[in-house]
A = this chain, B = another copy of it.
């Protein structure tokens, strides 16, 4: 399955160590195939992956060569747009702005660098369609009125098996099926907080958290988030010395918008710290299946021994966008979450539930995930290459190890909302940093989605952003950025 990725990684390390210097011609596809006993198509895939990563170039009728800029990659710091928001509980009023920006970004005519979704072409829609048909054929009609929340038993069993395969044993009875992770998160927030309560969030944070906190009349405290390593535990500890939040809402794995991944050890410390203060942790684990490494990072939930973690997952990012199937594992708050689910939307949709249960019972899912992860990693490498090529040298951006978004700090004089407006005019959507916190801390940041645009769109989108930034100070200013 991943032979071509292994071979590409091998070549990449040779390029990184300059064993293969810039300008070096690579051995021909047929030659490698013969000598390494790899199929021609595997070698070709590996070369294409390296091309996508910006490490090699194809020259017509000549072969593949190490790129002139490839050997320096990676060349920039990928972390540290660090912020220190004040530790104070604030009312949230960002929702109007978030809706306006997202609404403006929804047209299919735009290059979707601002999207929250992956490329729909990456998902097995035809297989899912057949699974829905078979799933609906096999059920007893009585299930339509009996399979209310917590949801279809076979689907919950399959979800539990997935965790088990990744080394984390959960009880299917603990799982409540929801309309996507967004509903799961909202149910959990309502289960553990009341209007007026304060919720600890990370900064920057998923804008859905800001909208829920605002709509439900809660307040927020923002704790800084390192764009590479996730939540700052020291700052969390300081905050808990003076504040009494009712809950904490975090995304410890491939955080949206930064792509940050907390280490397993830090997740364990986080769970212990919050447990000691009896503060429930709402864990958004939406991107966990999209890891580029060798195994799924453990969720914070895996370190929970007291039922204090309300864990939320979804198939929307990794298998079935649009199906709106997610789940909550609400620990000791299971009864409250289940009641809230029954009262607000009753149950998840039957065709989607039985279809996913059917699909997960088959053998295709791991193959799909393997391909999806490789493709997203390829796209990450590609956007990083294009950012290097087209954007000024004083930007910084993260290099996520999973998911499909990265977080970028613009040059100091560039305002992200204004960039968003100019980019829209140029046919490109981006997500300005102001969507991801209660204040203006991230006025100079943007989130870029590299998993949604097609390859040519990605190239073109980054090139256009580069042009806009070059022209920021009017004609003639382009040269102010070294290239």
Contact = CB atoms under 8 A, between A and B. Distances in A.
A125 interface: yes
Interface stretch (A3-11, A343-351, A418-426, A475-483): A343-351
Interface string A87-105: 0000000010001000000
A79 interface: no
Contacts of A182: 343-346
Residue in A95, A147, A349 with the greatest tally of chain B CB atoms within 10 Å: A349
A106 interface: yes
B145 A120 contact: yes
A61 interface: no
Contacts of A190: 215
Contacts of A342: 99
A339 B108 contact: no
Number of this chain's copies in the complex: 2
A323 interface: yes
A323 B345 contact: no
Given A95-B339, A132-B136, A180-B345, 7 more contacts: A125-B141, A133-B133, A179-B346, A195-B195, A195-B217, A323-B351, A344-B344
A186 B186 CA distance: 14
A95 B343 CA distance: 9
A245 to B, nearest CB: 20
A121 interface: yes
Contacts of A133: 129-130, 132-133
Chain A binding surface, main DSSP class:
helix
Contacts of A322: 143-145, 147, 347, 349-350
A355 interface: yes
Contacts of A217: 194-195
A275 B120 CA distance: 45
B108 A142 contact: yes
Contact of A324 (B180, B211, B350): B350
Interface string A208-224: 10011001010000000
25 contacts: A99-B339, A120-B142, A121-B141, A123-B141, A125-B136, A129-B133, A132-B133, A133-B133, A143-B322, A144-B322, A144-B323, A179-B345, A179-B349, A180-B345, A183-B345, A211-B343, A215-B340, A322-B349, A323-B350, A324-B346, A324-B347, A349-B349, A349-B352, A351-B352, A352-B352
Contact of A144 (B108, B120, B211, B344): B120
A437 interface: no
A342 B211 CA distance: 10
Contact of A125 (B95, B144, B186, B325): B144
Contacts of A142: 108, 120
A325 B194 CA distance: 29
A114 to B, nearest CB: 13
Interface of A: 95, 99, 106, 108, 115, 117-118, 120-121, 123, 125, 128-130, 132-133, 136-137, 141-148, 179-180, 182-183, 186, 190, 194-195, 208, 211-212, 215, 217, 320-325, 339-340, 342-352, 355, 452
B345 A324 contact: yes
Nearest to A352: B349
Contacts of A215: 190, 340, 343-344
Nearest to A351: B351
A350 B324 CA distance: 8
A144 to B, nearest CB: 3
Nearest to A117: B145
A282 to B, nearest CB: 15
Closest 5 A/B residue pairs (Cβ)? A144-B322, A322-B350, A349-B349, A120-B141, A117-B145
Nearest to A136: B129
Nearest to A195: B195
Contacts of A186: 343-345
A279 to B, nearest CB: 22
